[in-house]
Each structure stands twice: as C-alpha cells, then as structure tokens.
Amino acid sequence: MGKVDAGTIAAPFREEVRSKVADLKKKGIMAPLLVGILANNDPAARKYAEWTGRACQKDGIRYDLRVVEDPIDVEATLLDANDDPRVHGIIVYYPIFGQVESFSGASQDDYLRDTVSLRCDVEGLCHTYRTNLYRNIRHVDPPRNEHKCIIPCTALSVVKILEACPGCYDPALPVGRKLEGKVVTIINRSEIVGRPLAAMLANDGAAVYSVDVDSVYRFEGGRLHRCDGGDSPEACVRRSSIVVTGVPVKSYQLNAEWVRPHSTVVNVSSFKNVDEEALLAVPGVNYVPMVGKVTVAMLERNLLRLFENYHHPDSTPYRGDGGGAAPSDKAPWYGSTLQLYTAAAVTVFGAITLLRGAKK
C-alpha cells in the first residue's frame, strides 16, 4: 500500500454516521449535540476543534464550541454541560493545565477527564471507561451487555486503520485473538493515546511494547511486564511488524533503519516522527502519516453510541454513574402498580385483624 490516506479509511464511517443522523431526522428527532470546550492556544488542539466543527456540520451533527478564556473556569463550564439534558456529548481539547501548577496539583487535566459524565464522554477517557478498557470489560451493563463502552477516539482510530491495512488484523481469528502472533511497539504512553492503545492491542492478542522517555513495558496475555535493559526502543522496533509513533515534539525522529520490511507504521503525533522518504524506501512498508480524519470519524461514532445508550427517546438507558443500578433481567414479582398496592393493602388488613384477635 505504501503511503496510506487516512481519509479513505474514515469515509465509510462518516457515511454510516450521516445515514444514522438522517434516520433520526426522519423520525422527528433532532441530531445529537456535541459540545467542545477549548481553553488553550495549543495549535494542535485548535486544529482538532476546527476539524471537529467542519466534520459535524458536514455530517448533520450539531456542534457548539465553547471557548473559555480562563482555564480555572473550565470545570464550571464542564459541569454545566454535564447537567444540561440537551447535551449528548462533550469533548475537552487538551492540554489545558498540562504541567502548570494548579489548585488540584499536577493532575488537573486528569481530574477534568474524570469529571466528564460517562453519558457524555465521547473521548472515552473518564475513569469508568478507562478502567473497563484496562480490565478488558467491553460493556458498561454486565450481565446484559447491551451497551458497549466508549473507546478513546485516537486509540480507536489506530485500531480501525490497522484493520484496514493488510497483514495486521486477521479477520479469520476470533475476537480477542485477531492480532495473535503480532508484535507491536508504541512510542507514547499518554493516557489519551499510548496507554489505552497498548491495552486495546494487547486485548486483541498482540504482544505490545510501550516505550516512554525512560522505560519500556510489555503488555501480553493480560499482564504487564517491566522490561530489562535488553529491550531498548531499537530492539523493540526491530521485533515489531506494527509501529505507532506519538512523540509530541518536533525534534524526535524514529530511525527508519530499525523498521522491518512489510511493516506498518502509524504516526499519531501532530509532528512527523519519521523521515517519510527514508521510511517508504523500506520494502513493503505501509505508512499512515496522520490519523486525524479517522479520529474525528470515531468521535462522531462515539457520539451516536452515547445517544443510543443514554439519550435516545426510545432507549432504556443504563444509569451507571450515580444515577442508579443497571436494569435487571428479572421482571418484578408484581404485574402492575395496582397489583402492588392491592397486595400491600391486603397485608396491612391481615396484620390489623391478627392484632385485634390477639387482644381478645
């Protein structure tokens, strides 16, 4: 395939979104509303917000970008969106606080991720979805398993790209084993991309090396292992048939000489993490230089899943984040409210009769 255009991979997902939105409108149901919260001047975040707005407009989804001048006000803006029944999805464009000291300490951005209601979390980054992903729990309502979890958009986009690239996923194998025998290296361990992607690919059967600035870990067989000094980034890449780069700095460059022939390389960074000319000289390599278009398609797809799970007028939503227990498979013993009241009245009348008899 050589250089792969992510737009061609995104196209069928975008078409599916447009079809579902059109079906809603035919039934007199307004299109889902996605709220974006932007509180920084990061070029990549602003570009992502622009792409999101254009895609939503084209695909019939309502989109409201809320620009917050002072980052300290983001939490209040986020809570307002959480509590607004007209809002069906929320995306916060990070980083907001990053490494800057804040009232909540160095993890303020993580705190904001966990503040997004699971009913509105199109990014799939809140505590419930992250925890389920790392435990390989694919539904939020066991044992019924009617509502699938939301998966982080960028990580999910990489999975869809790998499914489209030859030699990666094996469709003949069962779920949980479609990457069996594959070795993957991910050069990024952020909560947004690297960690969830490593978990997803390991859940699909791959042996995954997670490379960060000062350490290498291996996800395999549902377990996490810390690698010793022999597992350098170079050694990991040379073993891998799939390499994902996501280093958010301009100066980083993956050495193309490490890449095996007939491998697939996916770049999720806003910077080019590899010399394209040198990489494409490797025999049989597949290279995806950008994933943004597929990420936006997954964002829209997640929004529609949230709408179907929690907001559709005809749905029976799982109330899983403080709103009560998941609906039970067992029907109540009473057939109707009238029957319940009748049974209660008979019970009370019987108790009074017994008490009167005892007094005599």
CA distance 252 to 233: 13
β-partners of residue 220 are: 223
Contact 90, 58 (CB under 8 A): no
Is 153 assigned a catalytic role?
A: yes
Q: Which of 153, 165, 168, 236 is catalytic?
A: 153
Could you tell me the CA-to-CA distances from 228 to 199, 217, 218, 231 in Å, in that order? 20, 9, 10, 6
Beta-bridge partner residues of 148: 139
- Pairing between β-strand 2-3 and β-strand 216-220 as defined by DSSP bridges: unpaired
Enzyme catalytic residues: 153
